[in-house]
Amino acid sequence: MEVQGRRKMLRFLVMLVLFSMEMAVPSTASRSKSNLSTQNHEVQAQLKLLNKPAVKSIKGPDGDIIDCIKLAHQPAFAHPLFKNHKIQMTPNFHPERAFAESKVSSNTEPGSSRKITQVWHLNGRCPEGTIPMRRTKEDDLLRASSVKAFGKKRHKTIPQPRSADPDLFSQSGHQHAIAYVDGDKYYGAKATINVWEPKIQQPNEFSLSQIWLLGGSFGEDLNSIEAGWQISPDLYGDNHTRLFTYWTSDAYQATGCYNLLCSGFIQINNEIAMGASIYPISGYHSSQYDISLLVWKDPKEGNWWLQFGNNYVLGYWPAFLFSYLSDSASMIEWGGEVVNSESDGQHTSTQMGSGHFPNEGFGKASYFKNIQIVDGSNNLRVPKGLETFTEQSSCYDVETGKGGNWGSYFYYGGPGRNPNCP
């Protein structure tokens, strides 16, 4: 009887322990429900931070909603660093000859291009005193790896032409075809960029064409200001070609973001929306469309300004965001970049530029033309010693040229996977 009693007591104790453990550890279902609740709270809080009350909202033909928000309500001012920041409504200086070139090139060699705008303009404009901001949707945040990661680059994506081992770039998944200058102090950069709609193989890949202004080393202290056009299904949820900007002051670790998705760039313009679709785009052996971008440092205030076309001064990056770029840039890069996410040894078929190699020329290949830098005297001039770089010329390539009303230019891009780039 004594042994049987002890057995009963032991069974009771085991059942008590198991019951206590069950009560202490939430079930998989309850944990999942709790996680979803936390994620939903974070998503809603971020949407509230990014989507400010609109004076007017415009739905574009591409499905975007553009909210016209008061200039002082933009997300930049949510950060304590901006608490007492006085908005600079106009730059003190433009680089000389910044307005000398026409938006539309003449019919002389190598070809002509046409005026470009944004899709949402077809359905309305934002009033004075507001800025247009693409509304962030819940799905946009849910596509990101986390709410905090939304609007940020996942990896360092700066091409480093001086690297002794180009394979490092291929292994990182990023490939480039660029022209660049270094070895001097640069106070801005300008170019006219042909706009296309390259095909993207995987949603987590992207294709872009941009200007980089760089300061510091290629380590953890890298400063970068970037502007151009991109296709990024992960960020925007579609395959439209969009105007974008980016910045970082610590090599993409903790600082910086795309467009207006964090404190950083301050927009003053009410006509052009960051992250909005560009319209129309170039066609193969058809009409060609390009955008002109100028980034320059205001010699008086020290802020870095962005201009789109000849008429739209969009806004600025305050000098206090940066360490090295608070003075000047040490390298300028122009060109294309893609992400290759293929892990089985086969190259992605994501296109760069038009998806055609530079040797096909005007109307077929993508280009940068009228490439210029801003010097220490605030003058626009043709860069000396323009060099080129690409990791795999059989996948994406670049070819420079000079002359005529195109000034210093280059064709670039390619199809990615092809018989010579398996």
Catalytic residue among 101, 226, 333, 391: 226
Q: Is 18 helix (H, G, I), strand (E, B) or coil?
A: helix
Angle at the Cα of 257 from the Cα atoms of 256 and 262, rounded to 5 degrees: 90
Q: How far apart are CA 88 and CA 227, in angstroms?
A: 20
Contact 60, 132 (CB under 8 A): no
Q: How far apart are CA 221 and CA 251, in angstroms?
A: 6
Sign of CA dihedral 316, 318, 324, 326: positive
Query: Residue 70: what are its φ and ψ, rounded to 5°?
Result: -60, 140
Q: Is 338 helix (H, G, I), strand (E, B) or coil?
A: strand
CA atoms within 13 A on the CB side of 263: 14
Is position 226 annotated as part of the catalytic site?
Answer: yes
Sign of CA dihedral 208, 209, 213, 218: positive
Q: How many other CB atoms sit within 10 Å of the CB of residue 415?
A: 20
DSSP run (H or E) holding 236:
helix 233-236
| Ramachandran quadrant class, 79 (left: phi over 0; alpha: psi -120 to 50; beta: rest) | beta
DSSP state letters, 31-98: HHHHHHHHHHHHHHHHHHHHSPPPSEEEE-TTS-EEEEEEGGGSGGGGSGGGTTPPP--S-S---BTT
Is position 337 annotated as part of the catalytic site?
Answer: yes
Catalytic residue among 101, 197, 333, 337: 337
Contact 118, 273 (CB under 8 A): yes
Q: Which amino acids are annotated catalytic?
A: 226, 337
